[in-house]
A and B are shown apart, each in its own frame.
Chain A
Amino acid sequence: MELTGADIFVRCLADEGVEYVFGYPGGAALHIYDALYKQDRVKHILVRHEQGAAHAADGYARATGRPGVVLVTSGPGVTNTITGIATAYMDSIPLVVFSGQVATSLIGDDAFQEVDAVGITRPCVKHNFLVKDVKDLAATVKKAFYIASTGRPGPVLVDIPKDVTAHKCEYVYPKSVSMRSYAPVTEGDPGQIKKAVELMLAAKRPMIYTGGGIVLGEASAALTELVRLLGYPCTNTLMGLGSYPATDPLFVGMLGMHGTYEANMAMHECDVLIAIGARFDDRVTGDLNKFCPHARIIHVDVDPASISKNVPVEIPIVGQAESVMREMIRLIKASGNKPDQPALAAWWKQMDKWRAMNCLEYDRDSKLIKPQYVLERLYEITDGDAYITSDVGQHQMWAAQYYKFDKPRRWINSGGLGTMGFGLPAAMGVKLAFPEATVACVTGEASIQMCIQELSTCKQYDLPIKIINLNNRYMGMVRQWQEFFYDRRYSHSYMDALPDFVKLTEAYGHVGFKIEKPGDVDGALREALKLKDRLVFLDFITDQTENVYPMIAAGKGQHEMHLKPCKAVVPTDRELA
């Protein structure tokens, strides 16, 4: 029997096992929305802005490992998703975005709500397609999911003109895909792995540095086994948090611009660096000329273009993190060789000295709510077992520093693109995927306002997310940089004319609390968790002068960290009034 393109499209999603589609209808997508109406296999979540759809699908993908799916109309529908697509692209998140397009006969005519979706998304997708014939539709959908979720994952856009969704043909969903120009690698080169293992075992001051590739490649178990087998220190990037248990003694914390003293010093001093699924981002390396000056470097990555991109590598291994680490473990066990124990003991002794700096300590006697304290308490009260999404800025760094993630896919943030507005919609995707889990969005009063309309979506679909708003009345990270590098000229970083978040939340049909004293933090968090079925917005009024430490200033080496908080001079609300 012949089906319309719209029916074929929805059947494809169902046969692909798609649980949720995040979207927003409009003219060019109406045939598809009609097809969605007539079935119940694929559930549609109506967001309030298409950016929210992309972030929600992204959050779903990060939490589950399955591709997130977005459906929007042409023109502004698809341009509104660009920030979300670019966010997913930078963090290698599998996302499949379907956009309606004007009819093929109108393409190029500057038709109503026409935009060159394939052209406009090209720099921020792994690949994209324009479907011109209904006969190609099912195969293209299959290819889109395949490309998005294999190799180094990433977003794929499929642009579907309206007439294609009306035309009919037989429906066959392909069982498999083979593309002559796309063949992701899996196994690493055995000779290279052998060389890497020899170098690893010969190390005196080894360091294991891993990133989001461990999470994406489902390689946490293999990493944990490898690190424990060797007894080497392990650090995670912002994107890799949770891929090695943060409470394990071999974990030395996050590295990079706001990483721990011990992680960054160990990077600087190590003699062998084992990098797996990490991409030597500028926020990790600091000044490249000062990066790991003593280290011989091994780099495992599924994307050959990530290797030796920023830092020259001695032993490159192109392959999936999981299979490469399994082979490393096998070779180490088979060799009967052990790491140099006296050297390793001395290395850990040095590590203990660095750890004794206690770089994450802060003023616990303050009469004001310290943001770090809120996150420490959130960690304790949720037993370290919540899904935490975040927006971008100081609160994001504090969440990364103070919430100790023991499991992968629990820490959901926009690392590469640094997208404010990500946290709330991402939390919706996570909550839909795991309705029984505690999902908290750690945010600030600036970030939350960028996608706050999604509070309405949360009401419609009963998504009881806990919003932890660290409200310091400043774009905190901008203010921090202005304090450090712009001689305290706080240009346009003060958040004036804030709404009453409690009333705003209530207007959306949720519960809101304002917390102003450190003594009330615990009670508010417990109360919010007790209200299991309600979205609760916790508006914590925090110390405005607090900065994120440690900090490596741009252009500095990893060992050149600011540790001691200098006395901040920040105009307070009263002075500004």
Chain B
Amino acid sequence: MRHTISMLLENESGALSRVAGLFSARGYNIESLSVAPTEDETLSRLTLVTSGSEDVIEQITKQLNKLVDVVKLVDLTEGQHIEREMLLIKLKAGGAARGKISQLVKDYQGRIIDETETTYTIELTDTSSRLDGFVKAVDHADIIEVVRSGVSGIARGEKSLRV
């Protein structure tokens, strides 16, 4: 099953490689990973998406918690939560395709953030599956470049991940 695990990390060089190294050393897979500093400059927030049986996920969270640089961790999948990912996509957009693409962008509530006579660059922020849907909806032959941020997540309601 797919799990979204979010954690506060010491904002130190090497902290990210400890997390990534744990996954490769123990044979766990990472579907996506995003990391950036928080309002507290000593801490980074890292969100990763992984999948595995319940036993594997339990091991992953235990092993992550053992890392000295991991301050606090939550498996967002255990409760109600919100996930967002950003997509930047550059598409061939000449002639007849142009109108079709801009309608699709509207349907998906994305934005055209750059354009030339032959291309559109589009920004779309949504759940990963909605982004998948958008990428599938455009003509594969029109895709020039796809950039995805990886998932960030936060718990719904009053729950939070803080030190």
Contact = CB atoms under 8 A, between A and B. Distances in A.
A357 B19 CA distance: 50
Q: How large is the interface on B (under 10, 10 to 19, 20 to 34, 35 or more residues)?
A: 20 to 34
B62 A305 contact: yes
A39 interface: no
Given A305-B59, A308-B58, A122 B17 contact: yes
Nearest to A181: B71
A304 interface: yes
A127 B68 contact: yes
A182 interface: yes
A439 to B, nearest CB: 34
B58 A181 contact: no
Given A118-B14, A123-B25, A309 B66 contact: no
B10 A305 contact: no
B68 A309 contact: no
A299 to B, nearest CB: 13
A122 B59 contact: no
A147 B55 CA distance: 27
A327 B14 CA distance: 40
B68 A181 contact: yes
Interface string A281-325: 000000000000000000000011100110010000000000000
Contact of B59 (A123, A181, A309): A309
Contacts, number: 38
A147 B69 CA distance: 12
A256 to B, nearest CB: 23
Contact of A182 (B14, B17, B68): B68
A124 B14 CA distance: 15
Contacts of B62: 304-305
Q: How large is the interface on A (under 10, 10 to 19, 20 to 34, 35 or more residues)?
A: 10 to 19
A126 B21 CA distance: 13
A119 interface: yes
Contacts of A122: 14, 17-18, 21
Nearest to A128: B14
A332 to B, nearest CB: 30
Nearest to A312: B55
B63 interface: yes
B14 A126 contact: no
A566 interface: no
B70 interface: yes
Interface in B39-56: 55
B68 A126 contact: yes
Given A119-B14, A122-B18, A303-B66, 16 more contacts: A122-B17, A122-B21, A126-B68, A127-B68, A130-B14, A147-B68, A181-B10, A181-B69, A181-B70, A181-B71, A304-B66, A305-B59, A305-B63, A305-B66, A308-B55, A309-B59
22 contacts: A119-B14, A119-B17, A122-B14, A122-B17, A122-B18, A122-B21, A127-B68, A128-B14, A130-B13, A130-B14, A181-B10, A181-B69, A181-B70, A182-B68, A304-B62, A304-B66, A305-B59, A305-B63, A305-B66, A308-B58, A309-B59, A312-B55
Instruction: Identify the 4 closest CB pairs spanning chains A and B, nearest first.
Output: A305-B62, A181-B71, A127-B68, A182-B68
